[in-house]
Amino acid sequence: MDRNEVLEKLTPIFREQLDNEEIELNAETTAEDIEEWDSLSHIQLIVAIEKAFGIRFTSSEIQSWDNVGEMIDSIISK
Amino acid sequence: MLLLIGSYIFYSSWSWNFLSLLILSTLATFFIGNKIRQSEGRAKVYWMRGGVFLVLIQLLYFKYFNFFIENFNDVLKLFGRQDHLGLLKIIFPIGISFYSFRMIGYLLDIRNNKLKEIPALLDYSVFVAFFPCIIAGPIDKAGPFLKNLKSKREFSSLSFSDGLRQILWGLFKKMVVADNIAAITSPIFESYHTLNGSTLFIGAVLYFIQLYCDFSGYTDMAIGISKLLGIKIQPNFNYPLFAQNVADYWRRWHISLTSWLTEYVFTPLSIRFRDYDKYGLIMAIIINFLVVGFWHGAEWHYIVHGLVSGIMFIPVIRKGKMNKKIKSQSNLIPTKDELKNIPVTFIMFALLMVLFFSSDMKMALAYYREIFSLSFFRVPNFKFQKLIALLIVFTLVIEWIHRDKEYALKDLFIRNNRVMRWGFYYLLIFLICLFYIAPKGFIYAQF
């Protein structure tokens, strides 16, 4: 899977979990850019992503992300 | 260098005997931070744990040692043992809870690769001991603070006057509103057992406003002074008295502590508990708020305050309403939602304050019992000064009008003519002189 494919697959997950159909993601997107993305919804988002991709992140991976691009790197590395 | 010397002199003026502790722990955490950066794999984790443990151990010793001894003695008594451990006379180093959290945040940021560059020792020492923030926060994060410190600072008359304006508003909230409310709440709390429910309820409401004005007044002064020095620090309050629900309140109250805990306690825990769905989130939030309670002090009433705060979050999590952030409004006339939500949230947190200001659980329970008794419907049996009510209304109206601004005075009358603007500043200065009473310490300096 390349970065664009991962991004395409991530977008509907973000939209559904954060209940906002207008979300547009790119590698630089951060929680600051999406109002509904807060510390509580973050966890629901991670669980949904892990389920959709059939992977399991480590705690330190999750905590090291600064933007969606770094999240994509972790998904590709699995 | 000047900032560091100034900060150390400032700290010595409050607590000279603990300056060496501050310097030693700064050196130790700086050294450990370097070790975390240089090591790989398990060694990285061990250095991080060692560093956090070292900071926590000094915090536990100075702030919590006697609490554990007292509770250990209580347990011994329960088992019928007469012997007990003696308490130690420990003097509490001022600001330790604040600078310890800065240090722990620094170490964890290096471990999580959030801090891309290791700072120079001098810059790190300023970050830990920065004088406007060392007594009662805000608890800044290392990354943004150090970036700010390193960038070239040039004098700007706009940001200088902005800083002065924020200091003026902070002084007004602290010296006029908070200190004068304290002159009412202190006697109420001293003789609470003789007062009826309605008086005690008003006492709790007043204390909520007092604490906000005291702490946010301090913070406005700290941020204002930092602006004079060209350093931008983190905000700590966003008009919490106008919060519309529990989650909204915690996004607005003591922001630097709540965001610190969200990042370093709640998030790691909720990641760990993520397989348990909402129950995992509830567990994480309860532990998070227990830490908030314990951070305030080694007293059961603070811990119960934290526990209840966590429990108050459960309906928010269960309803799944947590990801609906409320947009900040600037309308003068409150909307229907604001009229409905703000008073309920305000009263809820004013009642929660009882656990905060009570000297122990016995007082808190007696206080609640009286509020929730029929005496709540009686006329208050305490003489309140009406002038204070006017001051509170004046302050709240100014805050309401400009609640979408960084602080209430920021743009007030900026577009109007100079006479009006300066007239208002002089009015505030006049009120500060008029209502000045013997200076009281800041409530949060004790934590």
Rounded to an integer, the average pLDDT of B370-398 is 87
Long-range (24+ apart) CB contacts under 8 A made by B64-67 are B64/B294, B64/B298, B65/B90, B66/B90, B66/B298, B67/B298, B67/B299
pLDDT at B346: 95
Per-residue pLDDT band for B239 (boundaries 50, 70, 90) equals: very high
Task: Provide mean pLDDT across the span B401-428.
Answer: 82
Interchain pair A38, B322: CB under 8 A: yes
Q: What is the set of domains in chain A, with CATH numbers?
A: 3-77 (1.10.1200.10)
Nearest-Cα distance to chain A for B98, in Å, is 23
Query: Which residues does chain B have within 8 Å of residue A41's beta carbon, measured at their own beta carbons?
Result: 322-323
Question: Can you give the pLDDT at residue B447?
Answer: 65
Per the CB < 8 Å rule, is B112 touching A38?
no
CA dist., res. A74 & res. A78, Å (int): 7
| pLDDT of amino acid B167 | 95
CA–CA distances in Å: residue B397 to residues B209, B295, B333, B375: 13, 33, 11, 31
**Distance (Å, whole) CA B309 – CA B422:** 42
For residue A42, give the nearest of A21, A24, A68 by alpha carbon.
A68
Q: What pLDDT score does B446 carry?
A: 63
Q: What is the pLDDT of residue A50?
A: 93
Which pLDDT score, from 0 to 100, does residue B83 have?
A: 66
Q: Can you give the pLDDT at residue B95?
A: 81
Interval B123-166: pLDDT, tens: 898 888 887 777 777 888 888 888 888 877 777 888 888 899 99
Cβ atoms of B445 and B133 within 8 Å: the answer is no
B230-237 average pLDDT score: 87
Half-sphere exposure at residue B326, Cβ-oriented, CA atoms within 13 angstroms: 24
Q: Which residues of B touch A35 (CB under 8 A)?
A: 325, 327
Q: Which two three-digit tokens encode residue B316? A: 């928010």
Kindly list the residues from chain B whose CB atom is less than 8 angstroms away from the CB atom of residue A43: 267, 270-271, 274, 280-281
At residue B394, the pLDDT reads 92
What pLDDT score was predicted for residue B253?
A: 92
Choice between B353 and B85, residue whose per-residue pLDDT is larger: B353
CA distance linking residue A16 with residue B156, whole number of Å: 46
Q: Where are the domains of chain B?
A: 2-150, 157-244+326-446
How does pLDDT run across B335-367, given as a tens digit for each residue?
Answer: 888 888 899 999 999 999 999 999 889 999 999
**Are the beta carbons of A39 and B113 separated by less than 8 Å?**
no
Which tens digits make up the pLDDT trace of A1-58? 788 888 889 999 999 888 888 888 888 898 888 888 887 888 889 999 999 999 999 8
Query: To the nearest whole angstrom, how far is the Cα of B102 from the nearest Cα of chain A?
Result: 18
Question: Mutate which of A17, A19, A40, A49 to disrupt the B interface (most B C-beta within 10 Å)?
Answer: A40
Mean of the pLDDT values across residues B375-403? 86
Query: Of B87, B31, B83, whose CA–CA distance to B55 is shortest?
Result: B31
Choose the closest CB to B268 out of A18, A47, A63.
A63
Q: Is the ipTM of this complex over 0.90?
A: no
Top-confidence residue, B78 or A26:
A26
